[in-house]
Amino acid sequence: MPTFDVAKGALASAKADLLAVPAFQAPEGDGGRSKKKDKGPVAPHVPEATAPVAEALGIDLAAELVALGFEGSVGETARIPTRGAVKARQVLVVGVGRAADLDADAVRRAGAAVADAASKTESVATTVHAVGELDPAEAARAFVEGVALGAYRFTAFKSEADLHRLEHVTLHAGDVKPSVLKTAVAEAEAVATAVALVRDLVNTPPGDKRPPAFADRAREVAKEAGIKAKVLDEKDLAKGGYGGILGVGGGSDAPPRLVELSYSPSGAKTHVALVGKGITFDSGGLSIKPAEAMETMKMDMGGAATVLGVMQAVAALKLKVRITGLLALAENMPSGSATRPGDVLTIRGGKTVEVLNTDAEGRLVLADALEHARELEPDVIVDMATLTGAALIALGDKVGVVMSTDDDLSDALVAASRRAGEPFWPLPVANDQYKKLLDSEVADVKNVGGRKAGTITAGLFLHHFVGDDVSWAHLDIAGVAWNDGGREGYLPKGATGVPVRMLVEWLRER
């Protein structure tokens, strides 16, 4: 990640390689681009603050941009050589879209565009964060997040890494108090660090993060962050009756783990439990997946990684909320010791599950972890899991699923997701007809509810274990945790780190 700092002086005299400035797209209808009669292109609007840079270069910046065909849409960039007029070699103009549509996510995407354009540049000085009517701290946070997340590369296993060369970004404060921006920068760095941690963990090959190794890594991260960590190994799990985690992990020669993280600041008024599915590789078990479906199944620990990342960020931000994080870690493998279709598992607390499909394993490890969470009597439980392929079918890979028995909680999570630019949308929990789909002939419930409404029946399975005595929400992140397409703005190909920022945003408000 590049380093960020804040400066007071004029942008034109900055010592960086590149000066990045914002530009708005012309308002809709202005100039009537769509009307046949109107020929000339419409000039984007360059904010006042950029005037000294244009003056130093001795150019009419707006006219120059029109000549380049630059319109100012979000993330669009244009380079203008300075030919020695200032210290920087180029001015980078970055579109932030129409002024009327400006929000934090537009600035975040503009930040990613700066990272993209500066991938072969060492230093950037900028005023892109200082744009429009947005709160200056919020805009600076979004900008720094955009740059840092956009510059992310997973290079741990490359012998010749295509490194991102951007090392240093200086935010020019203009008439905003530098201390305000400095705080904003530090907050954004904490969040971006957590997102990068989650991306790294999820991108890590499955053989390098089997449950004992993942638990060790979680312990390390916790220690550095000042968070307490407790790891239950297979013996502890057997003693505690965690039949779901043991049943799922039974097919692997790397035993399962349950990691409990505790962040307990003084003065905290609420206790939040975060529970994450941590299947370090999902082969499907004996109900084995087809080869192509397995290719991305190293990402099946995205929920557990998110819990760890959120706690790291929350500790760095010193938020006044008590959090218990639970990472339910197992490797789902076929073998002579694997759970068989037809086997019955006893979950912690005594409820039984008939396992008809060993590929519906996430809900089994979560059932144990949710019961563990419930016993701690938190005010609220939020679980997150790459739980169902059906979530991808229902909402695709850009919108996550939230299911909750508490409308206020659901609304707060959806609102936070919107602010973070990580949209989630609700699916219903209360549905007695669908609940019946989980009825079992031999146990309390079975672990599959048929092909229809697969995301909802998975959520209903979890609800069977949490019950109604605690405020609870379930996030199905099977779609949003992974990006199969190419890099898009601050979302890289592969692990996305969603929903870390959404949850941090939600926790800020609690």
Is 363 catalytic? The answer is yes
Q: How far apart are CB 447 and ligand BES at their closest, in Å? A: 8
24 touches 45 (CB < 8 A): yes
Residue 14 or 355 with smaller CB distance to Zn ion? 355
Residue 393 DSSP SS3: helix
Residues in 274-313 at the binding interface with ligand BES, rule: CB under 6 A = 282, 300
Rounded to 10°, the helix 178-203/136-150 angle is 30
Binding mask 343-382 for ligand BES (x = CB under 6 A): --------------x-xxxx--------------------
Which of 46, 315, 478, 495 lies at the binding interface for ligand BES (CB under 6 A)? Answer: 478
Paired with 382 in beta bridges are 274, 473
The Cα–Cα gap between 475 and 196 comes to 20
Q: Should residue 476 be labelled a site residue for Mn ion when binding is judged by CB under 5 A?
A: no
Count of residues touching Zn ion (by CB under 5 A)? 4
Question: Within its chain, how far is the Cα of 428 from the centroid?
Answer: 23
**In the set 145, 187, 189, 359, which binds Mn ion (CB under 5 A)?**
359
Q: Annotated catalytic residue: which of 89, 165, 182, 289?
A: 289
Q: Identify what 448 binds: Mn ion, ligand BES, Zn ion, none; CB under 5 to 8 Å per kind.
A: ligand BES
* Closest alpha carbon to 277 in 296, 302, 254: 302
DSSP 63: H
> Of the two residues 77 and 357, which places its CB atom closer to ligand BES in the complex?
357
Q: Least distance to Mn ion from the beta carbon of 261, Å?
A: 25
Pairing of strands 77-81, 123-126: unpaired
**Of the listed 108, 109, 277, 363, which one is catalytic?**
363
Among candidates 409, 387, 395, 381, which has minimal Cα distance to 465? 381
CA neighbor of 353 nearest in space, from 266, 438, 253: 438
Q: Has 33 been annotated as catalytic?
A: no
| Residues 390-429, interacting with Mn ion (CB under 5 A) | none
Q: Is 282 in the site for Mn ion (CB under 5 A)?
A: yes
Rule CB under 6 A: say whether 331 interacts with ligand BES.
Answer: no
| C-beta of 151 vs 279, nearer to Zn ion | 279
**What is the chain's Cα-based Rg?**
25
Per-residue string for binding with Zn ion, 250-289, x by CB under 5 A? -----------------------------x--x-------
**Which of 362, 378, 421, 494 is close enough to bind Zn ion by CB under 5 A?**
362
Instruction: Name the nearest CA neighbour of 124 among 132, 135, 113, 137.
Output: 113
Compute the half-sphere exposure of residue 148: CA atoms within 13 Å on the CB side of its CA: 27
Q: Is the CB of residue 429 less than 8 Å from the CB of residue 405?
A: yes
Write the DSSP symbol of residue 45: B
In the complex, the residues that contact ligand BES under the rule CB under 6 A are 282, 300, 357, 359-362, 386, 388-390, 448, 454, 478
In the complex, the residues that contact Mn ion under the rule CB under 5 A are 282, 359, 361
Residues belonging to the active site: 289, 363
In the complex, the residues that contact Zn ion under the rule CB under 5 A are 279, 282, 300, 362
